[in-house]
Amino acid sequence: MKAEILSTGDEIRTGALVDSNTALIAECLERQGVTVTRHQSVGDALEALTDVIVEISRRADLAVVTGGLGPTVDDRTMEAAARAAGVELILDAGALADMEQFFKKLGRPCSPSNRKQALVPQGGTCLPNPIGTAPGVRLSVHGCTFFFMPGVPAEMRRMLDEQVLPQIRAMQGRHRRFCLLRTISTFGLPESVVGEKVAAITERFPEITLGLRAKFPEIQVKLYLRTQDEPAGQKILAAADEWVTGILGGHVFSHNERPMAEEVGRLLLARNATLALAESCTGGLVANWITNAPGSSGYFLFSGVTYHNTAKIKVLGVSPQTLQEKGAVSEETARQMAEGARRVGDATYGLAITGIAGPDGGSDEKPVGTVCMALAAADGTIVKRHCFGFGQRLMNKRMFAMTALNMLRLKLTTASGPVQ
Amino acid sequence: MKAEILSTGDEIRTGALVDSNTALIAECLERQGVTVTRHQSVGDALEALTDVIVEISRRADLAVVTGGLGPTVDDRTMEAAARAAGVELILDAGALADMEQFFKKLGRPCSPSNRKQALVPQGGTCLPNPIGTAPGVRLSVHGCTFFFMPGVPAEMRRMLDEQVLPQIRAMQGRHRRFCLLRTISTFGLPESVVGEKVAAITERFPEITLGLRAKFPEIQVKLYLRTQDEPAGQKILAAADEWVTGILGGHVFSHNERPMAEEVGRLLLARNATLALAESCTGGLVANWITNAPGSSGYFLFSGVTYHNTAKIKVLGVSPQTLQEKGAVSEETARQMAEGARRVGDATYGLAITGIAGPDGGSDEKPVGTVCMALAAADGTIVKRHCFGFGQRLMNKRMFAMTALNMLRLKLTTASGPVQ
C-alpha cells in the first residue's frame, strides 16, 4: 500500500512554522508497513489545494492530510476535497451535535463560523475530535482513501492514534506488514566508527535494515525489520540488539531512547544512591537534564553552578591557592569541586565539570573545548581531562555534560555490576 | 517569481528525520519576495527523484533542492537531475580540485566514492562548499532554474546565504520585491489577548500583514510587509513596531528575537550589575539559559540548585524552622533563598524560584503549578506567588523560569529607566 502525506497552510508554505506533523505521520505509517512515497506542503489557496489532492489521488492508495479544517475563511481543505472528488459539501448532523456539545462544556456559544466546520464532502465520514472543534474526515477521491485531520499537533496525534491508524490497519487486513524498529543509543564513538563496527549486521541478520542517526552528541543505531509475523520479528530484533550491544559494549547506554540523564537517574535509584553536582562551564545544563525526569528528587540533591571563582571557594570549598596556581580549568580544581559538592550535598556521588565552552577564554595551553571533570565517591575520586574540537559554545556545553554523565554511568554499571 | 522546494532522502521520507531545512529556505525566499508555492519530499529512489524534478520544472521558475549529494550509492540526486534534464553527468575539474584540497587539509585521502561528488550534469555550474565535500549545483531543467544543495544543515545554510540567495537576487534584478519582517517578543499575555490588542494594526498600517506565533511560553507578534522600496518599508515597520510596543507596553521584551535570558543579561551588563540564582523546581534551567549567551561570565556569578531542603539550609542559609512551618514552596522560603543567593554569590541581585513542577508533589493547598519567587536587591526583596495550570512538568519548568527572568527584567527596566 502506497501512501502520501500532505500538510497545508500558509504558515507552513512560507516557512513561518516547521511542520513536525508530517515526520510523525510518516514514521507511524512506515512502522505499520505502509510505504510513504512522497510528502507535500501547499498553502491555503483553493486552486493549489484542489490540484494537489487530485494529483495525489492518481498516484497513491492512501493519503493523510493535515490542516485547513479550522473555522476561518482561510481554512478551505474541505472545499478543495469536495471539488477534487466532484461532490457537494453537506452539513453533517452528527458532527454538528458533537461540536455543540463541545462548546456547551466550555460554556461558550457555537458561532456560525464554527458551524462551517461540520460541512463535509458528500460521501465522507467524520472522524471524532474529542479535544477540539474540527472533526476529521475520511473520503475516497478517485479510488484513493484520504484522511483529513486538524493541523494542531495534539488534536492530530490523538485522531491519528485513535481513528486513522486503526482504520488503515483494517484496510490492510491479513496482508498487513509490520515495520519494527529498535533504537540503540550510544555515546563516545564517532558515527563513522559505529557504522564500521556494526556493518556486518546485514550479513548476520539479512532481514534487518541498518540506520545510523547522529543526535548530537549521541549516535543512535536503528534496526528496522519488515515482517508479517510480529512475534518472530521481535525475536530477530532482540537477537540483533544483543549482537550490536556485544560489539559496542560500554558505549551503549539505552535500548529504548531513554535519555542519558534519565538512564543515570534510573541507575542511581536502583542503587539507592544520591547525586550532587558542581558545574562551571555547563552552567546548570546537567542539573536541568537530570531534573527533566519526573521523580528526580528521589536521587538528585544539589548542583552548585559556580560560574565565578568566589562561588567555587565559598560554596564548594575549593582552595584559593589551587585556583591561583592551577587555574579554574584544572584536574585539581575539578577534584575539589566534586569532593565539595559531595560533602555539601551530603550525597553518595559528587560530579564536577569545569572547562572552556567558548567562544572566548581559550589559550594555547587550554584551548576552547578543554574540560576537566571529576567524580567523587566513598572509594575515592576519579579525574579526567578532555579537549573537544567543536567551535560552538552550545555544542561544547552539551558534549561536556554528556561526557560527565557518561563517566557517572560507567562508574554505576561497573562498580557493582549492571542493574536491569 | 514562483519557487518550489524539494527535500530528498529516505530518512526524511520515512519520518526518521524532521526536515528543518525546508522551512528555513522557504522563509528566506519569501523574505526576498519570491513566492514559495509548494514543498515536497521524496526518498532516494532514482525514478521518484527524476519524476518529481520534471514535475517541478513544469510548474515553477525556480527550485531549491536539498540532499542526495553525498558519496554513497544512496545519493542519486545528480543522476536524477541529469536524467530529468536529458543530459550526461561529466566530471567537473574545478570541483574535483576543491575536494582534493579539502581532504588534503583534513589529512585524509580523497576516495573514489568522494570523487563521484564532482560529477555534475552537463550545463550545470558548481556552487562551492567551503565546509564539506559535496559541491552544490545550479542547473536549468526545461527553463526552471534548480539549485541543488547538500542536506547537512550547516553546509546548506552557508551555501544558501553565500551562493543561492545572491544568485536569486541577481535573477530578480530590478523587479525584486522585499518581504520585510519585524518580530516583537512578548511575555505575560495569552495569545488571544495579544491578538485582540493589536488587531487594529491593519487599519493603521494597511500595508502590513500581522502574524501571531506562540513560542511557548512567549508570544511573538510578527509584522510582514511586501515592498519594492526597502528603506520606505523599514520606516513603516519601525512606526508599526512603535505602535505595537505602545499598546503592549511592559509585555514586550525584545524586538530582534533575542531570548529573554540574553535580554536580561544585556540589561545587567549595561548597569554593571551581577546576578546569583537559587533554583529549586527549575533545576538549573534558568542558569542554563543565562549561560547559553556568550560573555555571560560578565554578569552571572552563581546558581544554587538546591533541590533538597538540606542544600537550601546549608548552601543558602534558609531557616529549618521556615521550611518546617511554611514549607519549601512558600513566599518566606523564596525570600530567604533569594537573599541567601545574593549573599553567597556576592551579587547585585539574588533571584529565587521554588515550586511544584509536577507530575507529583501537589496538594489541595499547593497544587502542581504553584510557584513562589523572590528578587533580592540592595533596596529590599520582592516576593510573588503564581499558580499555572499546565499539566506538564517541562512546560511548568519553562513557565516558572520565564516568569522569574521577567520579574528581574521589569526591575531592571523600571528601577533606573530603560537602557538601550
B332, B259 in Cβ contact below 8 A? no
Residue A2 DSSP SS3: strand
Instruction: Tell me A163's DSSP state.
Output: I
CA angle B125, B129, B133 (to 5 degrees): 105
Q: Which of B284, B260, B264 is nearest to B275 (CA)?
A: B264
Going by pLDDT thresholds of 50, 70 and 90, the confidence category of residue A420 is: very low
CA distance A270 to A299: 10
Strands B178-186 and B218-227: antiparallel
Q: Which of B76, B70, B25 is nearest to B53 (CA)?
A: B76
Tell the burial category of B315 from Cβ atoms under 10 Å away from its Cβ (0-12, 13-18, 19+). Answer: buried
Write the DSSP string, B143-159.
TEEEEEE-SSHHHHHHH
CA angle A73, A26, A92 (to 5 degrees): 40
Q: What per-residue confidence (pLDDT) applies to A115?
A: 84
Helical residues (DSSP H) of A62-215, grouped into ranges: 77-85, 93-106, 112-115, 153-159, 165-172, 191-198, 201-204
Write the DSSP string, A41-57.
EE-S-HHHHHHHHHHHH
A242: CB partners within 8 A, 6+ apart: none
Helix (H) or strand (E) holding A89: strand A89-91
Q: Which of A304, A329, A339, A324 is nearest to A396 (CA)?
A: A329
Is the model's pLDDT at A305 over the cut of 80? yes
Q: Which of B388, B389, B59, B339 is nearest to A51 (CA)?
A: B59
CA distance B46 to A131: 42
Measured between CA atoms, the residue of chain A closest to residue B41 is A39
Q: What per-residue confidence (pLDDT) applies to A417?
A: 47
B125: CB partners within 8 A, 6+ apart: B137, B138, B139
Write the DSSP string, B357-375.
-SSS---SSS-TTEEEEEE
Burial readout B51-75 (b: 16 or more C-beta within 10 A, e: otherwise): bbbbbbbeebbbbbbbbbbbbeeeb
Q: Please answer yes or no on whether A22 and B15 come within 8 Å at the CB atom.
A: yes
Q: What is the ipTM of this complex?
A: 0.84
CA distance A309 to B127: 48
Instruction: Tell me A250's DSSP state.
Output: G
Q: Does B222 touch chain A (CB under 8 A)?
A: yes
Q: Which of B119, B162, B156, B116 is nearest to B139 (CA)?
A: B119
Chain B neighbors of A282, CB-CB under 8 A: 288, 291
Helix (H) or strand (E) holding B46: helix B46-59
Restricting to A residues 366-405, those with a Cβ less than 8 Å away from any Cβ of B are: 393-394, 397
Chain B neighbors of A360, CB-CB under 8 A: 294-295
CA distance B231 to A57: 47
- ω into A150 cis (within 30 of 0): no
State how far Cα A148 lies from the chain centre: 25
Is the model's pLDDT at A237 over the cut of 90? yes
Instruction: Tell me B173's DSSP state.
Output: G
A76: CB partners within 8 A, 6+ apart: A44, A46, A49, A68
Query: Distances from the Cα of B208 to the Cαs of A99, B194, B200, in angstroms?
Result: 34, 17, 11
- For chain A, the straight-line distance linking the first and the last C-alpha, in angstroms and rounded, comes to 40
Residue B74 DSSP SS3: coil
Write the DSSP string, A276-306.
EEEESTTTTHHHHHHHTSTTGGGTEEEEEEE
Burial readout A310-344 (b: 16 or more C-beta within 10 A, e: otherwise): bbbbbbbebeeebbeebbbbbebbbbbbbbbbbeb
Which triple of cell numbers denotes residue A334?
575539578
Strands B144-149 and B136-141: antiparallel
Q: What per-residue confidence (pLDDT) applies to A275?
A: 98
Name the minimum distance, in Å, from the CA of B311 to any CA of chain A. Answer: 6
Q: Does A41 touch chain B (CB under 8 A)?
A: yes
Which triple of cell numbers denotes residue B182?
519585524
Please name the member of A28, A291, A301 whose beta carbon is closest to the beta carbon of B284: A291
Restricting to B residues 138-177, those with a Cβ less than 8 Å away from any Cβ of A are: none
Helix (H) or strand (E) holding B27: helix B21-31
Strands of B255-367, DSSP E: 275-279, 300-306, 349-355
Q: Which of B12, B7, B4, B8 is nearest to B38 (CA)?
A: B4
Residues linked to residue A252 through DSSP beta bridges, in sequence order? A186
Instruction: Tell me B162's DSSP state.
Output: I
Helical residues (DSSP H) of A64-148, grouped into ranges: 77-85, 93-106, 112-115
Q: Which of A260, A246, A272, A217 is nearest to A405 (CA)?
A: A260
- Work out the average pLDDT over A328-333: 98
Helix (H) or strand (E) holding A15: none
Q: What per-residue confidence (pLDDT) applies to A140?
A: 97
Q: Please answer yes or no on whether A307 and B296 come within 8 Å at the CB atom.
A: yes
Q: What per-residue confidence (pLDDT) applies to B420?
A: 40
Restricting to B residues 271-290, those with a Cβ less than 8 Å away from any Cβ of A are: 276-277, 279, 281-288, 290
Chain B neighbors of A25, CB-CB under 8 A: 15
Cβ contacts from A onto B, under 8 A: 235
Q: Please answer yes or no on whether A211 and B16 come within 8 Å at the CB atom.
A: yes
A222: CB partners within 8 A, 6+ apart: A181, A182, A183, A184, A210, A211, A212, A213, B16
Instruction: Tell me B135's DSSP state.
Output: P
Radius of gyration of chain B (CA): 27
Query: Distances from the Cα of B263 to the Cαs of A265, A307, B257, B338, B404, in angstroms?
Result: 33, 19, 10, 21, 13
More confident residue, B16 or A161: A161
Measured between CA atoms, the residue of chain A closest to residue B49 is A38
Instruction: Tell me A135's DSSP state.
Output: P
Q: Please answer yes or no on whether A48 and B37 come within 8 Å at the CB atom.
A: yes
Tell the burial category of B89 from Cβ atoms under 10 Å away from its Cβ (0-12, 13-18, 19+). Answer: middle
CA distance B119 to A179: 35
Residue with the three cell numbers 560529477: B119
Whether the model pTM is above 0.90 = no
| Local confidence pLDDT in tens for the 420 residues of chain B | 899 999 999 989 998 888 989 999 999 999 888 999 999 999 999 999 999 999 999 999 999 999 999 877 778 999 999 999 999 999 999 999 988 888 887 777 777 778 888 999 999 999 999 888 889 999 999 999 999 999 989 899 999 999 999 999 999 987 778 888 899 999 999 877 888 899 899 899 999 988 887 788 999 998 989 898 999 999 999 999 999 999 999 999 999 899 999 999 999 999 999 999 999 999 999 999 999 999 999 999 999 999 999 999 999 999 999 999 999 999 999 999 999 999 999 999 999 999 999 999 999 999 999 999 999 999 999 999 999 977 789 999 999 999 999 999 999 998 654 444
- Mean confidence (pLDDT) of chain A: 93
Helix (H) or strand (E) holding B400: helix B393-415
CA distance B334 to B326: 11
Cα dihedral sign for A130, A132, A134, A137?
negative
B122, B90 in Cβ contact below 8 A? yes
pLDDT digits (tens, 9 = 90+) for A84-134: 999 999 999 999 998 888 888 777 778 777 888 899 999 999 999 988 888
Query: How many C-beta atoms surround the C-beta of residue A270 within 10 A?
Result: 14
Name the minimum distance, in Å, from the CA of A330 to any CA of chain B. Answer: 18
Q: What per-residue confidence (pLDDT) applies to A415?
A: 61
CA distance A213 to A206: 20
State which amino acid sits at residue A295.
Answer: G
